[in-house]
Amino acid sequence: MVGGAPRGAAHGAADGRSAPVTGTAAGIPFVALPPATGAHPAPLVLGLHAFEPPRGEAALAGTVPMASLPAWRVYPGLPLFGARLPEGGVREIARRGESDYLMELFGPVVEGAAAELSRLVAELRALFPVTDDPVGLVGVGAGASAALLTLAEGDLPVGATALVNPVADPAPVLAARERHHGTPYAWTGDSIAVRERFDFTDRAADVARGRVPTLIVSGGRDDVLPPGHGRDLYEALRAEFLGTADREDREGPAEPEEQGKRSGQGAGWLRRRARRARRDAPVPVSPEGTNHVLRHIVIPDLAHAIGPEPGLEPGPLTPGGVLADRALTEWFHRHVTASAQVRAGYGGDLPPGGGPRTAVPSP
């Protein structure tokens, strides 16, 4: 056993077979898809699943396989999901969600997933022929929250990221749960602080600290996080990428404490409102623009859940899911690093049309 995964399975993929590899590394179950280019050392792209379908590693691997990428695509299971369900199983997960979705379920899973990524990557590099290039990072729903937390606070080198229906702020998810259950969420000082930590639109300066190329994909049929939420995140990151975010936008006046507790908005609500008001104002743009490092796209047929229930195994592909997979594949084709380590695996020459490509401006 290497990293908890069968040694023979890993070797089989490394010898050129394209079958998925399942195993465990750093105590985390995963599904790995070998690179399209075969046995040579290749970069690593991690995919973090959602709470909704696809809510498991195998399901996400089937939904966004990015099959033509010359990279290992590894899909780890999130904490408290799949093989890591707590004692009491699905019933216990439901209890935590009903008791306090933010504090007992969403927060611990997102924080735990982000915290274990560096350890996971170290073990995957010992298990597979993975280069030491910065990793690619895909997140869907709450998995995107873990990706954003990694960008904002983590030490894992990330070369590019793609976020599908990202929960850039948990408040809209809590509002959707309020509408569904008919019970208002009971905000406290602690939960407001947690919400503000996970409000990545408001924390755009932290998320953008490494200027990591970022693709944001919003679903036109997402009734929990409509495309405007993805657009707000894009605009906030764009201001940071271009250096046009001002002091008022970052700090803003504080909101009265009691009003903040009722709404869960905290002190950041005026900053978000001001940012939305200025969203369509002209912004100085460099001659190259930002499309090659930061993009927001809307896929009209994509819903909040990008796969079918129950969401633990691959299901029938939807038109929206196919388009999302295509967008992610192209993004990482542009930003997977063609490092000396990769070139050495090909004797110094990348295969025509098959190797990693450097970033170029989007039309």
Please check whether residue 30 is in contact with residue 75, taking contact to mean a CB–CB distance below 8 angstroms: yes
Q: Residue 286's pLDDT band (boundaries 50, 70, 90)?
A: very low
- Tens of pLDDT along 163-181? 999 999 999 999 999 999 9
CB atoms within 10 A of CB 15: 10
Tell me the one-letter amino acid at 150.
T
Q: For the chain, what's the residue count?
A: 363
Residue 322, pLDDT above cutoff 80? yes
- Tens of pLDDT along 203-242? 999 999 999 999 999 999 999 999 999 999 999 999 999 9
Helices 142-153, 107-115: crossing angle, 10 deg rounding: 50
What strands, in cross-sheet order, belong to the sheet with 28-33?
21-25, 28-33, 72-76, 44-48, 135-140, 158-164, 214-221, 294-303
Bridging pattern class, strands 158-164 and 135-140: parallel
Q: What is the DSSP string of 283-312?
A: ----TT-STTTEEEEEEEEEESS-S-TT-S
The pLDDT assigned to 338 comes to 54
The sign of the CA dihedral 67, 68, 74, 76 is negative
260 three-class SS: helix
Q: What is the pTM of this model?
A: 0.81
Bridging pattern class, strands 28-33 and 21-25: antiparallel
162 three-class SS: strand
- Tens of pLDDT along 116-126? 999 999 999 99
Alpha helical stretches, state H, 70-141: 89-100, 107-115, 117-127
